[in-house]
């Protein structure tokens, strides 16, 4: 049974008693899908990293660095806040943080969905390579820096230098953008963009924002090839 995102009949692992390494090894070794509640995370680092299975993990509290990093297939929910590198290099599956996330959330993500219920700090989605990130709040400076593929959807505001040195990733912001980074420009919001944003908001459980409220940003494609006139932008 699931109540408020927590699976009540799942195996409970208390990190005040059992080390994080033991939790991760148990999940790595499992051949069948596991449902696990992680108790007393207390900001510990590397919780539920490197998972490769259809597991459901609920971290009941705050997590430290690299929670759910390198995730494949699993669904990981964190009921509190997260430190740097949340879902770093996510490959597939879903990672949900109900609170805020520190810097570099979703860095280098190649697939799957990262949903952040609060704000994300600097460099959210840095070097994004195909994952989708939905932030219910705002993101800090240099978000989507060198993002290559995938989507970043921000329901709040974006800090300075959004999308600096962007490639083909798509950025959607509902609020105010402090400034755009090198080679990032506002682009027309087309029908397929509206459909994409609607689908991602629905997947992330966001019900208080409409796709038509967002603006799209993407690459001007002027820095793809070196030109001496652009040397100051590199």
pLDDT in tens, 106-157: 999 999 999 999 999 999 999 999 999 999 999 999 999 999 999 999 999 9
Residue 228, domain member (yes or no) = no
Indicate the pTM of the whole model: 0.93
pLDDT in tens, 174-188: 999 999 999 999 999
Percent with pLDDT over 90 in the chain: 90
Residue 10, domain member (yes or no) = yes
Residue 95 has pLDDT above 50, yes or no: yes
pLDDT for position 2: 41
- Six-digit token string for 2: 């699931």
pLDDT for position 80: 98
Residue 178, domain member (yes or no) = yes
The CATH number linked to 67 is 2.160.20.60
To the nearest whole number, what is the mean pLDDT of the chain? Answer: 94
Residue 91, domain member (yes or no) = yes
pLDDT for position 222: 86
| Backbone φ and ψ of 59, nearest 5° | -95, 110
Range of the domain at 128: 2-223
pLDDT in tens, 9-57: 789 999 999 999 999 999 999 999 999 999 999 999 999 999 999 999 9
Query: Which tops the pLDDT comparison, 3 or 215?
Result: 215
pLDDT for position 226: 62
Residue 127, domain member (yes or no) = yes
pLDDT for position 9: 72
Q: Other CB atoms closer than 10 Å to residue 169's CB: what's the count?
A: 26
Please state, in angstroms and rounded to a whole number, the distance separating the CA atoms of residues 70 and 64. 15
Of the candidates 118, 99, 219, 100, the one whose C-alpha atom is nearest the C-alpha of residue 162 is: 219
Residue 195 has pLDDT above 90, yes or no: yes
SS3 content of the chain, % helix, strand, coil (to 5): 15, 30, 60
Give the single-character DSSP code of 120: B
**Residue 10 contacts residue 28 (beta carbons within 8 Å):** no
Residue 234, domain member (yes or no) = no
- Six-digit token string for 87: 């879902």
pLDDT confidence of 159, banded at 50, 70, 90?
very high
pLDDT confidence of 227, banded at 50, 70, 90?
low
Residue 36, domain member (yes or no) = yes
Residue 215, domain member (yes or no) = yes
Structural domain count, the chain: 1
Q: What mean pLDDT is predicted for residues 46-71?
A: 98
Residue 1 has pLDDT above 90, yes or no: no
pLDDT for position 229: 67
SS3 annotation, 175-223: CCECCECCCEEEECCCHHHHHHHHHHHHHCCCCCCCHHHCEEEEECCCC
């Amino acid at each position: 049974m699931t109540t408020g995102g927590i699976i009540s009949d799942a195996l409970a692992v208390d990190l005040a008693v059992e080390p994080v390494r033991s939790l991760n090894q148990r999940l790595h070794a499992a051949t069948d899908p596991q449902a696990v509640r992680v108790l007393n995370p207390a900001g510990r680092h590397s919780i539920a990293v490197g998972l490769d299975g259809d597991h459901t993990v609920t971290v009941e509290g705050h997590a430290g660095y690299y929670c759910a990093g390198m995730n494949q297939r699993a669904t990981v929910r964190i009921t509190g806040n997260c430190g740097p590198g949340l879902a770093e290099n996510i490959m597939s599956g879903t990672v949900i943080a109900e609170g805020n996330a520190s810097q570099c959330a979703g860095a280098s993500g190649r697939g799957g969905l990262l949903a952040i219920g609060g704000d994300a700090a600097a460099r959210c989605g840095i070097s994004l390579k195909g994952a989708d990130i939905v932030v219910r709040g705002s993101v800090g400076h240099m978000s989507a820096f060198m993002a290559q593929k995938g989507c970043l959807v921000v329901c709040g505001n974006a800090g300075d230098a959004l999308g600096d040195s962007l490639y083909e990733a798509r950025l959607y912001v509902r609020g105010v953008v402090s400034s755009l980074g090198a080679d990032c420009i506002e682009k027309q919001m087309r029908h397929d963009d509206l459909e994409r944003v609607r689908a991602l908001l629905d997947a992330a459980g966001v019900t208080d924002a409409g796709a038509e409220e967002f603006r799209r940003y993407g690459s001007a494609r002027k820095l793809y090839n070196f030109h001496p006139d652009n040397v100051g932008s590199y």
